[in-house]
């Protein structure tokens, strides 16, 4: 028996508590094997291609201050020799004649209606990416816009860049 203050605790209870504390705190691990993963990274021998290049789309004549949208359908074919993360960037300096400009690019397996994914670009969210496996993909483009009010005719081209990590 052990006396703690005015209480008397049986020795076997103290031994049980002490054993539980020591047994749960001390745990040893021993390495008995490991994985080793080898690799070799080579420079890309082929780059992705887009056909046609550049893709030329035309919104037509837009009335001053108007809002509209246009579905261009499948506009181009993207061919990837390997799996890549493709970044799409809207050059916002080319959208100054619009108070809002949004681009939806839908990605389909080449020659099919199998939807793979898509990207969304706007004046406030000008960059988006999608990771694709090697293969051919059709790009379907839809645009929503609101033109600024103008007092004289203005024209230009909105630019979208495609980037890859090669």
Instruction: Please compute the mean of the pLDDT values over residues 19-45 and round it to a whole number.
Output: 71
Q: Which CATH architecture has domain 49-163?
A: Sandwich (2.60)
pLDDT range class, residue 164, cuts 50, 70, 90: confident
Does this model's pTM top 0.85? My answer is no
Give the CA-trace dihedral at 67, 93, 143, 129, to 10 degrees. -150
pLDDT tens, residue by residue, 63-119: 999 999 999 999 999 999 988 899 999 999 999 999 999 999 999 999 999 999 999
55 against 9, higher pLDDT? 55
Q: How far apart are CA 57 and CA 29, in angstroms?
A: 64
The structural domains of the chain, with segments of one domain joined by +, span 49-163
Residue 19 is encoded by which pair of tokens? 């054993």
């Amino acid at each position: 028996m052990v006396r703690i203050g005015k209480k008397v605790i049986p020795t076997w209870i103290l031994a049980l508590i002490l054993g539980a504390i020591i047994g749960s705190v001390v745990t040893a691990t021993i390495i008995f094997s490991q994985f080793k993963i080898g690799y070799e990274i080579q420079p890309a021998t082929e780059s992705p291609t887009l056909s046609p290049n550049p893709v030329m789309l035309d919104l037509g004549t837009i009335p001053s201050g108007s809002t509209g949208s246009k579905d261009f359908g499948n506009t181009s074919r993207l061919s990837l020799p390997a799996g890549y993360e493709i970044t799409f960037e809207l050059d916002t300096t080319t959208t100054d004649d619009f108070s809002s400009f949004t681009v939806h690019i839908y990605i389909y397996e080449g020659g099919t209606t199998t939807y793979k994914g898509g990207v969304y670009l706007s004046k406030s969210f000008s960059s988006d990416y999608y990771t694709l496996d090697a293969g051919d993909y059709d790009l379907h483009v839809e645009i929503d816009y609101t033109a600024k009010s103008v007092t004289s005719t203005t024209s230009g081209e909105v630019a979208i860049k495609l980037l890859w990590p090669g």
